[in-house]
Structure 1
Amino acid sequence: MSTARVVVIGAGIGGLVTALELASNGVDVTVLERAGGPGGKLREVAPGGVAMDAGPTVFTMRWVFDELFDALGLRLADHLALQPVSVLARHAWRGDQRLDLFADIARSADAIGRFAGAAESRGYLAFCERARGIYRALEMPFLRGTRPTPLSLVRRAGWRGLPELLRISPFATLASELGRHFTDPRLRQLFGRYATYCGSSPFLAPATLMLVAHVEQDGVWLVDGGMHRIAQTLAALARQRGATLRFDAPVDEILVRGDAACGVRLADGETLAADAVVFNGDVAALTSGLLGGAVFDACAPAVPTSRSLSALTLNLLAPTDGFPLSRHTVFFADDPAREFDDIFRDRLLPASPTVYVCAQDRGGDEIGATPASGTAERLLLIVNAPPVGDLRPFTQEELARCEAQTFRTLSRCGLQVTRHPERTVRTTPQDFERLFPATGGALYGQASHGWAASFRRPGARSRLPGLFLAGGSVHPGPGVPMAALSGRQAAASVIARLTATGPQRSRRPSTSTSAPTATPGGTSTP
């Protein structure tokens, strides 16, 4: 094992976790990343010269990282400072209609009762119990398991877990199931938003996504220094354990000899031999030929019409007024059905968008830090958008119109933001496509539409021996903790192969079975 060599393509969370575990097991690991630093979608930008998160904004499923650090003989608390939040999010509709959800279920139920009535409060408690049951049914056989099939899911659950598994409503949509718990359309809209956490529409995604509610209630934390600190920490630990991390190092091609991956060729022509290759990127980059023809069919082809959501994001350094922002605030559109029709049916920027605002200088509770009046604060605004960055780039007029509507939505709820172009970083679906090629800007792999969508995600082992997969486009799905789980599964699969076959470094890579050079910089990192 100590002489085995593995190349990891992509320094997103999945790739970093893979490298960290492999290096800790004595494997010679090299991570190649086309960007200038680690993180992938867990990225950072600096409008006005001030660094802020520009990707995922919440830390959940802490147990994933506790278990990872425990396996490495470390304590998570010694490396990341985490603060639990009491307010999960503030939600706003037209005028002064506002609702806070709390980590404490009883407090949320009381708030919902005051907001929409006692019947809706009872519906919320039933909804939470249902979400807890779905999570309990799926954690071991699905989240922690290798890529499942419907049959293997039932087999893993066992006869004790089968009753709960049968109650998860896999064939119902999230929107329809929410109608059984809530009559208030605002609450159906609020909890339907959980589908967007995996880049999907609540009108098409399965009801199993109700489990997100339990994930949040189980704990949401703020990371001191921002979410990007997670990537920096994992990268530093991987180096300490002996991994080599190379940035500004795009991979052109995964090399194959015989019937197995045997190395990579970088854009500058350098070749690295390997006993195994881990691709930490969207599988669409493989199936589009961006990593060479020899790995073209290593996974089932990604279908552009099945892509998950993209986004139009604005990172701002700007003062705000008129609305008491929480750390996480959602300003809802008037017509949620039209919003998702615009995106998934018509492939347009939403005419009336829901806007998520992460106020990164504010705390996660009622008495958290609030910037003084007139003081610029770090804001991330996210509007859902169609993943068409490679098919139909939006014009400046379309983008400007969506931005104007975005701020009208905020203003309608009372929030005023004083913007300055020199303190703004805008990222469009076309920009996300450049960052993560072959995705069209989709940020979550394939959308979770229909009961079978989760079973179509590839697992850690590709169809090609020696080529392994990690990241948000593979099992168990998108999001920081899910990507970390995929990285752990990839590392375990690599170790199992190396243990079974032994290192093969004497076999020199060959490009004889590969197609002509793929597009430079063709790797993508979640």
Structure 2
Amino acid sequence: MTKNSATVAVIGSGVAGLSAAIRLALQGKQVVVFEQNAYTGGKITAFEKQGYRFDMGPSLFTVPHLVDELFELAGKTPSNYFQYHTHNEVCRYFWLDGKQITLFPSVDRNVEAITTVFGTESGKRVRKYFDDARKKFELTAPFFLESSLHKMKTYLSPRVLKVVSEIPRLGLFSTLDDQNKRYFKEPKLVQLFNRYATYNGSSPYQTPGIMQMISHLEHGMGTHFPVGGMHAISQSLTKLAQELGVQFELNAKVERILLEKKQVRGLVVNRAERMFDIVVCNSDIKHAYHELLPKNMRRPKKTLAQEPSSSALIFYWGIGQTFPVMDLHNIIFSEDYKEEFHRISSNGPFWEDPTIYVHISNRLEVNDAPKGKDSWFVMVNVPYDQGQDWEDIVGKVRRKIIERISSVLGKDIAPLIETEEILTPPQIHSRTSSVGGALYGTSSNERMAAFLRHSNKSSSVKGLYFCGGSVHPGGGVPLCILSGKIAAEWIEEDE
């Protein structure tokens, strides 16, 4: 096998799999992507109903240069394939007592907004908060996010020495909630910045304070939205991959990864054996070990035993009226955030007061809804599926969401719902092989969670690599793209 003759199978066409496939094709390899669904993109997909268009999965888009980079590597002009809006707001926040605030991708504007709503002292503190979040991100991102934590050379980098010297100030040994309380006396601001734990399916009362740096992605680096919706990300990357010679086989369910003497031999796809030199698994890591790999192979028990991340219950509503008080991203906070996360992380009884996220894509993509109407993506965080009565939970959550949003808007929204679809954790599992519908694989509810995520390379099987939200560096569109990059770099280095 020469460098340019290696055959590679990629299991799954999520954004991580697409990222890996493009980079491997640029290395000269023959790449085939197997996707169990009739479409590419994994969680990034969309549908239309009664004149409304909905993105089904991720709705937040940051760090667009990571997408652009893939086109640039191929010598293409990114804007010929993929374009995006740069939005002037990050999110609008609402509380049941009538308090509300809009935050921006600008520290100065945020200081002004927070000073106006919460007072001068809070304004001063938030400037310090954003400055520290930026410093943490700039210091640690090249180490924790952009490099493999499973290569010795990563730890020999001069940059790591600086990270080590700053460990006491990174927040690794306190929770995000503890960290935020050191900055803010105002409980609503603590709650607002605690929400960044949800960006990787974790609890702010358990995840380490270093997660403060996530806020820098939006407030320091900008908030964006793709032209054509989030689905345009996977569509444009699929087009690029095809132009580079990557083959896609849809409705192709991978049933097993074939091994011979601790080396990859190929796959069983739709009951047929297919031979490959290399396999890149973009499937949930637990699904890979429990369903695809031999039962007798050595398993990373500590990694697989980690607590799954939270899941989501999503309502897609076509709303027969537009509400200018709401923007692209909106959060309606619960009154007892701590209890809400306790119920989620303990898989306890349904919490009657969930925090509600409302994404309205037609604020930027005007054709996503008929004129004078809105396309709503309404989500609450829920535990991963362990056999709960989701029919009962859906009914309760739906009633509560309608009640809460109606209270904020001052109008009963129930009669305005013209069309509806619902996505539950079991459905997420079924469509994406995310075990239990856990959106990010494992949570980051441990201090050393970053080091417990599965490597992008198998330590026991030659030719087997991993990418996606359930392995290093984690979930979300930017990290999944980086995951595909790290896996492709491993493969190139191993030749």
TM-score bucket of the superposed structures, by smaller chain:
over 0.9
**Counterpart Cα distance in 1 of 2:63 and 2:96:** 32
2:135 to 125, 133, 136: 133
**Structure 1 length as normaliser, TM-score?**
0.88
Q: Within the alignment, does 1:404 sit opposite 2:404 as a pair?
A: no
CA distance in 2: counterparts of 1:232 and 1:51, whole angstroms? 15
Given the two structures, how large is their TM-score scaled by the length of structure 2?
A: 0.93
SS in structure 2 at match of 1:333: coil
Contact 2:111 2:123 in 1 (8 A): yes
Partners of 2:32 and 2:295 lie apart in 1 by 21
Given that 1:134 and 1:164 are in contact with CA atoms closer than 8 Å, whether structure 2 keeps it comes out as no
Q: 2:223 matched to 1:227?
A: no
Structure 2 residue 364 is matched with structure 1 residue 357: no
Whether the aligned pair in 1 keeps the contact of 2:148 and 2:472 (CA below 8 Å) is: yes
CA distance in 2 between partners of 1:62 and 1:20 (Å): 17
Deviation at 1:309, TM superposition (A): 0.7
Q: Are the counterparts in 2 of residues 286 and 296 from structure 1 also a CA contact under 8 Å?
A: no
How far does residue 314 in structure 1 lie from its aligned partner after superposition? Answer: 0.6
Q: Say which of 31, 34, 56 aligns to 1:32.
A: 34
State the Cα distance separating 1:451 from its structure 2 match: 1.2
Q: Which residue of 2 aligns with 1:253?
A: 256
Contact map agreement 2:303 2:454 (CA 8 A) in 1:
no
- Could you tell me how far apart the structure 1 residues matched to 2:245 and 2:265 are? 21
- 2:215 pairs with 210, 213, 216, which one? 213
**Residues 356-403 of structure 1: CA deviation (Å, up to 9, x unaligned):** 000010039xxx999898x33211011000002xx2132422220111
Q: Specify the code of the residue in structure 2 equivalent to 1:253.
A: R
Shift of residue 172, structure 1, vs aligned partner = 0.8
CA distance in 1, matches of 2:151, 2:21: 27
Show structure 2 runs of 5+ residues with no match: none
The answer to whether the Cα contact below 8 Å between 2:319 and 2:418 also exists between their aligned partners in 1 is no
Measure, in 2, the Cα distance between the counterparts of 1:295 and 1:15.
26
Larger deviation, residues 251-260 vs 138-147: 138-147
1:97 alignment partner AA = K
Counterpart of 1:383 in structure 2 is: 380
Secondary structure of 1:2's aligned partner: coil
Alignment of 1:75-154 (within 5 A): 75-148=77-150
The 1:262/1:419 distance shift into structure 2, 3 A limit, reads farther
> 1:419, CA displacement in angstroms?
5.5
Report the RMSD for the aligned CA atoms in angstroms. Answer: 2.4
Q: 1:95 to 1:352 in 2, by over 3 A?
A: same
Look up the match of 2:325.
Answer: 324
Q: 1:158 to 1:488 in 2, by over 3 A?
A: closer
Q: SS where residue 57 of structure 1 aligns? A: coil
Specify the alignment match of 1:334 in structure 2: 335
Match of 1:131, SS state, is helix
Asked if the contact 1:61–1:215 (Cα under 8 Å) also holds between the matched residues in 2, the reply is yes
Counterpart CA distance in 1 for 2:393 and 2:232 is: 34
2:53 corresponds in structure 1 to 51
The offset of 1:219, in angstroms, is: 1.5
Does the 8 Å contact 1:321/1:417 carry over to 2? no
Distance 1:301 1:259 in 2: 21
Match status 1:424 vs 2:420: yes
Moved more, 160-169 or 140-149: 160-169
Decide which of 472, 480, 484 is 2:481's aligned counterpart: 484
Residue by residue, what CA displacement relative to the aligned partner does 1:110-169 show, whole Å, maximum 9, x if unpaired?
A: 100111111111110110011011101112222111125999658552444544444211
- The answer to which of 351-360 and 418-427 deviates more is 418-427
Q: Which residue number in structure 1 is paired with residue 446 of structure 2?
A: 450
2:244 to 231, 235, 241: 241
Q: Which residue does the alignment assign to 1:495?
A: 492
Q: 1:304 to 1:451 in 2, by over 3 A?
A: closer
Q: Residue in 2 aligned with 1:523? A: none
Structure 2 distance, partners of 1:434, 1:370, is 27
Amino acid at match of 1:445: G
Aligned pair partner of 1:469 in 466, 470, 475: 466
Note the alpha carbon deviations across 1:18-62, whole angstroms, 9 max, x for none: 111111221110000001111111121334363321111121122
Distance 1:407 1:421, change over 3 A: closer
CA, structure 1 residues 285+156, in 2 after alignment: closer, same or farther (shift >3 Å)? farther
**Farther-moved stretch of structure 1 (433-442 vs 138-147):** 433-442
